[in-house]
Structure 1
Amino acid sequence: MSRVPDVSAVVAGLLQVVEEQQKSSGTISPEVLRSLNLVHSHSLTNALDLIDGNKVTKVVSTSGRWVYQVIGSSGTPYVCFPHSVFCQCPAFKFSVLKKRESVICKHVLAARLATAMGVTEEKFVSNEYIVDVLTHLD
């Protein structure tokens, strides 16, 4: 019996290929973009727009803890965790959790793609800042 990989394994594999292609050629092949689009048809273009608009920041505290902060298209900042699909945005609650139309929202996808592409900006903050961000999650 053959095993069918779960979607998160496919996504992780695609992000690994994106990282390898970025390092070797500085571009992402059309084949990989098509594959990403198959998995993330609802959010890929929007995630790429967030990356192009420099809306993804890796917020790093003095202790080394970090989160992604992604500024949504409405200007609202969303916190995304490094190894989680959670996002505060309404699309996560509706499209990912409730309707199960998407695996991850555009904010998490943008954060992961920006990291794989090596274009994530870093902002260094105090430990208190990170604590404040985490205690105000909806």
Structure 2
Amino acid sequence: MTEWWNTLTLDQLSTEQWEALCDGCGRCCLHKLEDEETGEYHFTRIRCRLLDEKTSRCSDYANRLEKVADCVKLSPENTADFQWLPSTCAYRLRANGKALHDWHPLVSGDPESVRRAGMTVRNNTVSDEDVRFYEYEDHIITWID
């Protein structure tokens, strides 16, 4: 079987392949702070109100763009903007011509491998409805990739 996820470019993927590329970590749905001087992004443990922290998946994926004003729809057309995604993100890896990690469900064949590898945000977040913006800096986290 051909490992399409490591051979096809993002713009060659079908809709089904594009969606399958998501590992379900939920990190993209965490609020980030950008350092204006360095351009560096800092992840917080503050999740979008639509992120189900038990599954690390959007609770209303089909309607997320209408419900969350700053939700970003990833597409092959906006890959140049993927630097805000976590370094482990399959979309970011493939946009940079890199292979997926061994723990990615497409590689492992197991949808729980991402959780076992400690890469999900499951049960380690707080809702953006419970934190004021001026408190975001108190919730900055560092990922060990």
Relative to the length of structure 1, the TM-score reads: 0.28
Specify which structure has the bigger relative contact order, considering alpha-carbon pairs within 8 angstroms and separated by 6 or more residues: 2
| TM-score scaled by length of structure 2 | 0.27
